[in-house]
Structure formats: structure tokens, C-alpha cells
């Protein structure tokens, strides 16, 4: 199924539409399975969306008691570190809404990266195992993703081994050249989702967006192209500056 691409006039409208999208996905999931398992994105783009979701306009419309918050990736830093994706979501959203504390499933960036990846994989296995005889599938109801100017998404960077991972749902990655460690869902885990929605804002994303959506398939060079839900809906919510190089714009 080809992705749906919605072009919004500016980043403020993008954030509002993304918040509406989150609410709709939450309601749909809860009516279907009495829970909403969402993997949150890091980076700066979703900040305003999270803030809106915590506001009076939106918060009352989300069944927070049924929401389970996960992350698509995490930096290997303590949970209260300014670079932590958990900290971003906690400060802008999670501490302001009545989500049960045990429904917040953060990647433990403070742990040894390899151990943290194993621990998160086990957490996902437990959460998504329906019946013992069925192999678990990390069927998130929604995975929110951003995209870097180089076409990376989550912590799937160009030419990274995680792009070729065929078994694991969560891996630790050491980023060159600074050597920082990251934890990330692999394409296998993301592509099992019912919905995957990218948010992209700003002129600096225009080249990557055109290459990803309209260029030749090169997921090794453009990891966002590796995101193709096998039985789910793929959507892009982008603003006009990010869409400025699209032929279809």
C-alpha cells in the first residue's frame, strides 16, 4: 500500500494535525483491543505535538488509562538527560496526563547498551505475546517517527547494521564518528505496526523527503525507505517547506 502524504501549510498546523492523528489512532485502538500501544519518536519535531496532546484541547480526548507508551529509539544517556527521548516525552506530555506509571515502557539508556537492547526486546515480547502458541509480533497500534536530513529514522542511520537485522526487534548501535550509543527498534519491529506515521518539518528535510518518497529504492542510503509496514498504514505528515521539492507538491 503506498503511503498517504498530507502536506500542511506550516509546522504549527502539522503539530495540530499530528495530535488529531494520535487521538484518532488511540480511539480506534482502544475500541478494537481496549489498549493503545504507541511508540513515540524522539527529536525536536514531535515536541509541539506532545505539548498539544497534554493541553486541555486534546488531553481529555485520549483514553490515557489504556495507553502504553514505548519508544522507537533512545540515546544511551540517563532518563533525566537533556538528550533523552524519554525525557522529552516525559517533560512535554507524560507527566501532564493520567497515564498509569507502569504503562510507560522506556528504553533504559542508562544501562549497558547491549543489555538494554536485550531487556527491551524481552519487554516487547512479554507485552505482545498473545497466546503461548503464537509467535509474538510487535504489533504497535502506532509508531511515530521523525526523519533526519540524511533520511535516517529512529536510530536507523545510513549503512547501519540494524537495517539488515533479520531477527531482533531492538538493537544497540554505536554511532560514528563520536562513538555515542543508541537503542533502536529495527525495521522488522516497526514494519509490524498497524500504523506508522512520519512527521517531517522544515526546509532542511526537503531533499531527503523527495529522495525517500520519489527517488529510487535505496534503503541502505535512505533508511526511512526501509519503513514499509507489512500489514499496516504508512502516513507522512509534512509541512510545506519539507515538501517543497516534491513533484507531487
Binding site for ligand 6PG (CB under 6 A): 41-45, 72-73, 85, 146-148, 152-155
- Cβ proximity to ligand 6PG, 49 vs 66, nearer residue: 49
Q: By C-beta, is 30 or 149 nearer to ligand 6PG?
A: 149
CB of 35 closer than 8 Å to CB of 29: yes
Our CB check for ligand 6PG shows the closer of 66 and 170 to be 170
Quote the cell numbers at residue 121. Answer: 526486546
Min dist. Cβ of residue 75 to ligand 6PG (A): 6
Nearer to ligand 6PG (CB atom), residue 66 or residue 209: 209
d(C-alpha 9, C-alpha 31), whole Å: 32
* Chain CA centroid to CA 80, Å: 20
CB 144 to ligand 6PG: min, Å: 9
Q: How far apart are CA 152 and CA 109, in angstroms?
A: 20
Q: Whole-number minimum distance, CB 200 to ligand 6PG, in Å?
A: 8
Q: What is the closest distance, in whole angstroms, from the C-beta atom of residue 74 to ligand 6PG in the complex?
A: 7
Residue of closest CB approach to ligand 6PG: 146
| 42 vs 241, beta carbon nearer ligand 6PG | 42
Burial class of residue 98, CB neighbours in 10 A (0-12, 13-18, 19+): exposed
Query: Maximum Cα–Cα distance for the chain, whole Å?
Result: 49
Name the DSSP letter for residue 104: B
Q: Which is nearer to ligand 6PG, 40 or 104 (CB)?
A: 40
Q: Dihedrals φ, ψ of 105, to 5°?
A: -105, 80
CB of 59 to ligand 6PG, least distance (A): 22
C-alpha 70/C-alpha 109 separation (Å) is 13
Helix and strand element counts for the chain (H, E): 7, 9
Q: Shortest approach of ligand 6PG to residue 48 CB, angstroms? A: 11
Amino acid at each position: 500500500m503506498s503511503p498517504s502524504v498530507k502536506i500542511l501549510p506550516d509546522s504549527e498546523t502539522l503539530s495540530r494535525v499530528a495530535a488529531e492523528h494520535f487521538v484518532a489512532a488511540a480511539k480506534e485502538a482502544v475500541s478494537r483491543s481496549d489498549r493503545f500501544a504507541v511508540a513515540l519518536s524522539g527529536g525536536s519535531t514531535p515536541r509541539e505535538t506532545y505539548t498539544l496532546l497534554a493541553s486541555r484541547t486534546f488531553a481529555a480526548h485520549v483514553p490515557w488509562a489504556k495507553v502504553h507508551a514505548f519508544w522507537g529509539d533512545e540515546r544511551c544517556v540517563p532518563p533525566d538527560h537533556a538528550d533523552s527521548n524519554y525525557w522529552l516525552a516525559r517533560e512535554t506530555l507524560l507527566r501532564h496526563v493520567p497515564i498509569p506509571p507502569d504503562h510507560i515502557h522506556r528504553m533504559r539508556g542508562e544501562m549497558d547498551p547491549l543489555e538494554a537492547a536485550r531487556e527491551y526486546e524481552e519487554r516487547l515480547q512479554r507485552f505482545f505475546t498473545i497466546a503461548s502458541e503464537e509467535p509474538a509480533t510487535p504489533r504497535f497500534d502506532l509508531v511515530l517517527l521523525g526523519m533526519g536530513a540524511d533520511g535516517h529514522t529512529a536510530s536507523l542511520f545510513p549503512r547501519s547494521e540494524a537495517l539488515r537485522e533479520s531477527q531482533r526487534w531492538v538493537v544497540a548501535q554505536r554511532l560514528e564518528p563520536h562513538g555515542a550509543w543508541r537503542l533502536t527498534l529495527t525495521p522488522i519491529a516497526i514494519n509490524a505496526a498497524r500504523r506508522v506515521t512520519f512527521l517531517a518539518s522544515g526546509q532542511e528535510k526537503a531533499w531527503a523527503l523527495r529522495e525517500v518518497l520519489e527517488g529510487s529504492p535505496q534503503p541502505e542510503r535512505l533508511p526511512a525507505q526501509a519503513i514499509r509496514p507489512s500489514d499496516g498504514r504508512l502516513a507522512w505528515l509534512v509541512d510545506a517547506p519539507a515538501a517543497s521539492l516534491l513533484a507531487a507538491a
